[in-house]
Amino acid sequence: MTGFDTFLVADWSAAQGVRRAGKDAIWIALAQDGAVKPARHFSTRLDAEAWIAETIRAEIAAGRRVMAAFDFPFGYPTGVVEIICGAADPLALWDWLAARITDDARGRNNRFAVAEEINALFPGEGPFWGKHNRDAYPGIPYGGRSRTAEVSEKRACDISAKASSSVWQLAFPPTVGGQALMGMPMLSRLRRIQGCAVWPFEAWQEAQAVLTEIWPGLIEPAVRASDDLRDRAQVEGLARALSRLPLAELERMMDIDAPEEGWILGAGHGERLTDLARPNSLRPPPLRNDCFALPAGVDWTPVDTALALLRERLHPVTGTTKSGLFEAEGRILAEDVIARRANPPHPNTAVDGYGFAAASVGEGDAVLPLVQGRAAAGAPFEGPVPRGSALRVLTGADLPAGVDTVVLDEDCSVGDGRVAFRGGVKPGANTRKAGEDAGEGDRVLSAGRKLTAPDLALAAAVGHGTLPIREKLRVAVLSTGDELTEPGDVPGAGGIFDANRPMLLSTLARWGHVPVDLGRIPDDRSAVAAAFDRAGRDADVLLTSGGASAGDEDHVSALLREAGAMQEWRIALKPGRPLALGLWNDIPVFGLPGNPVAAFVCTLIFARPALTVLAGGNWAEPQGFEIPAAFEKRKKPGRREYLRARMRDGCAEVFPSEGSGRVSSLSWGEGLVEIEDGERHIRPGDPVRFIPYGSFGL
Ligand code: AMP
Ligand code: MG
């Protein structure tokens, strides 16, 4: 069997109604190519099913193999299906249920009625039990204990996995019974997607998409150790564990003969899965050897094609940790931030003034007696304000009971223990509603975001004192060339100063990575190899400059080629010579050209977004804007050009010389002008795209 590219893990829910992010909601995690994405929350089963179906179809269409795992039973104890549908075929039961179960966009469903219908098919009380209201659904016993069950409470796999829950339980957590009733109809539809098979009921070994049953209880110690929301920790943990399982091990776990009851994938292997589910138990798997392969047969690859490949194939390689909120600026968020409480937590007043109930006043001018005391921020007024009275309130104060409207100080006259103001005050005026900024359970920040100062304010406002962040990416830098001299030293014959290293190291620090300086390496194969080895030990990524072409002294490309992991990137780009990309001891190597201008431009255009993704951040596209050119230039079609540029009087000026050895042009520039791949004749005043260095995070 071939491995799975994607694991989708869903935490199902039978709940009635639309669920907010939080407990008992539907959570779905996705692990793609070994990287676990933050779990998504769905408010209704309908939304979740649509998204699952779409994800499965998209993966199949992309030629990727996907496993979709669900946390509810796929079958019932032996003998049950026969009683319900007259044949021992669990898939027939799925269809039977799909024809009966109803569910709507508000989560209203008929699972109790269907359970009652099933119970009626059995002698005695029937298997389903548990309801919220003793008087409803007479065919369903209230509690499980009182009942004389004809059928087994558990399947063989529930016993093997030491699951305490019953597949028949409809109310009071764990409501596995309800989840199965609301889940099987979905499975009945999903399995009809072309290429989809159900484990272990069907031949799934060659199927492009496989539906499996899983149970979060298998990784409970890992879930308990996480301080994340339980449901999220469960699905993310399972997705992580499955994606880390070596293929042979997964195959052994799937090699099950369970004709009717189904099986929990991994039952009996809880300890192993728990180990793999822990976020830091392992580093994410290394990148694939061919991750830098460009399309074959293309002479010069367009910039956008190369960028799309990097975006698709790279994934985070950094671990996760926690940071105090105050220290988190500039760090990359490792998980979504969910509001622990609403902001504002209570309705409060937006101004200094007088609060009262809108119903106390009519259309006309009002005079209200003042209640003794006041409400201030942090010093709420105890007790209600009676109808027809008003209270002194200060900005930020919680509205006391009996107050829903505030009139501004400036609009009031006060005296004799009374406040007077003109009519026409809108009910609710000058107040802030609880949760108007963020609701409890809302996702306020998404994983992959580089935290800004305002982000810290938001995270603080919704109750966070620490934040889950990525460890910093360690980026090693080395320069190659016999001619290179350390800046400030005395150069030998033919020597030049190493200009690239200070430029690259400081750029990396500015981007929030940890620069690891590996120094200057002469044009000597074993010296370069030793430096590569050091990078493999001390860093997550290596940036080299010089020696990346195919000449005699181009040892960077030669070494990567020997290691069998070299890709020569011939990009339709000026300034730029071929780049050498590859893997050395599992770490990615970006072999930049030696010319400082080309090295810098390639760093901004290719290395920056690539490093951001490796560091766990979102793909970074520099923001540019169109301004009139202050220059004239003719450009041939077939490659993209970046000119060193700056903005003066609202127009883009470019450096007079395009020579790629001109270090001074980089320093003169304050950004780049990007000229698209096609032919252009730019005249003064024509719009051109200017990307300031700031847009590259500098
Ligand atoms: P290479 O890519 O090694 O063929 O180098 C191309 C050009 O860039 C040569 O003129 C090198 O001397 C120059 N060069 C290479 N590395 C550096 C560096 N670190 N600082 C300044 N110039 C460099
Ligand atoms: Mg060289």
Report if residue 310 sits inside a domain: no
Dihedral in degrees, nearest 10, Cα atoms 391, 394, 395, 398: -50
* pLDDT, position 290: 75
The enclosing domain of 416 has a CATH number of 2.170.190.11
Specify whether 331 is located in the same domain as 464. yes
In this prediction, residues 639-651 reach a mean pLDDT of 96
pLDDT digits (tens, 9 = 90+) for 573-585: 888 778 888 888 7
Look at the chain and report how many structural domains it folds into: 6
In this prediction, residues 51-68 reach a mean pLDDT of 96
For 511, the token pair is: 């981007």
- 496 CB near ligand 1 (under 6 Å): yes
Q: Which of 542, 577, 607 is the last residue of a domain?
A: 607
Could you give the 3-state DSSP secondary structure of residue 455? helix
Specify whether 375 is located in the same domain as 519. no
* pLDDT, position 146: 63
Task: Give the confidence band of 110 by pLDDT, cuts at 50, 70, 90.
Answer: very high
Q: Are 613 and 677 in contact (CB under 8 A)?
A: no
Report if residue 114 sits inside a domain: yes
Task: Give the confidence band of 276 by pLDDT, cuts at 50, 70, 90.
Answer: confident
Q: Are 242 and 7 in contact (CB under 8 A)?
A: yes
Task: Give the confidence band of 282 by pLDDT, cuts at 50, 70, 90.
Answer: very low
* Least reliable range by pLDDT among 14-18, 90-94, 393-397: 14-18
pLDDT of 31 over the 90 cut = yes
pLDDT digits (tens, 9 = 90+) for 119-164: 999 988 889 999 988 889 999 988 876 666 678 888 999 988 888 7
Specify whether 85 is located in the same domain as 118. yes
Specify whether 647 is located in the same domain as 687. yes
Note if the bond before 174 is cis, omega within 30 degrees: yes
* pLDDT, position 166: 87
Specify whether 592 is located in the same domain as 632. no
The CA 594 to ligand 1 mean position distance, Å, reads: 4
Determine the residue of 477, 503, 545, 590 to mutate for testing ligand 1's pocket, defined as the one with the most ligand atoms within 8 A of the Cβ atom.
545
Average pLDDT along the chain: 91
Ligand 1 atom with the shortest distance to the CA of 520: 19
Specify whether 159 is located in the same domain as 268. no
Rounded percentage of the chain residues whose pLDDT exceeds 90? 68
Nearby residues for ligand 2 (ion, Cβ within 5 Å): 481, 546-547, 594
- 481 CB near ligand 1 (under 6 Å): yes
Specify whether 484 is located in the same domain as 600. yes
Task: Give the confidence band of 264 by pLDDT, cuts at 50, 70, 90.
Answer: very high
Q: Are 188 and 180 in contact (CB under 8 A)?
A: no
Q: For 168-251, where are the E strands, in sequence order? A: 196-198, 209-213
pLDDT of 688 over the 60 cut = yes
In this prediction, residues 522-538 reach a mean pLDDT of 89
pLDDT of 24 over the 70 cut = no
Specify whether 573 is located in the same domain as 491. yes
Q: Which residues contact 677 (CB under 8 A, 6 or more apart)?
A: 302, 303, 572, 637, 638, 639, 640
Report if residue 620 sits inside a domain: no
Residue length of the chain: 698
In this prediction, residues 495-503 reach a mean pLDDT of 96
Higher pLDDT, 289 or 115: 115
In this prediction, residues 171-183 reach a mean pLDDT of 90
Q: Are 364 and 319 in contact (CB under 8 A)?
A: no
- 594 CB near ligand 1 (under 6 Å): yes
pTM (2 d.p.): 0.62
- 549 CB near ligand 1 (under 6 Å): yes
* pLDDT, position 533: 87
- 499 CB near ligand 1 (under 6 Å): yes
The enclosing domain of 657 has a CATH number of 2.40.340.10
Residue by residue, DSSP assigns 625-691 as EEEEBSS-EEE-SSSEEEEEEEEETTEEEE-S---TT-HHHHHH-SEEEEE-SS-EEE-TTSEEEEE
pLDDT digits (tens, 9 = 90+) for 439-457: 999 999 999 999 999 999 9
* pLDDT, position 281: 45
Specify whether 333 is located in the same domain as 354. no
**What residue numbers bound the domain in which 168 lies?**
80-190
Angle, helices 270-277 vs 230-244, to 10°: value is: 100
* pLDDT, position 168: 92
* Least reliable range by pLDDT among 19-28, 132-141, 358-367, 424-433: 19-28
- 484 CB near ligand 1 (under 6 Å): yes
The CA 501 to ligand 2 mean position distance, Å, reads: 14
Rounded percentage of the chain residues whose pLDDT exceeds 70? 97
- 575 CB near ligand 1 (under 6 Å): no
Report if residue 393 sits inside a domain: yes
Least distant ligand from the CA of 600: 1
* pLDDT, position 147: 64
Specify whether 675 is located in the same domain as 541. no
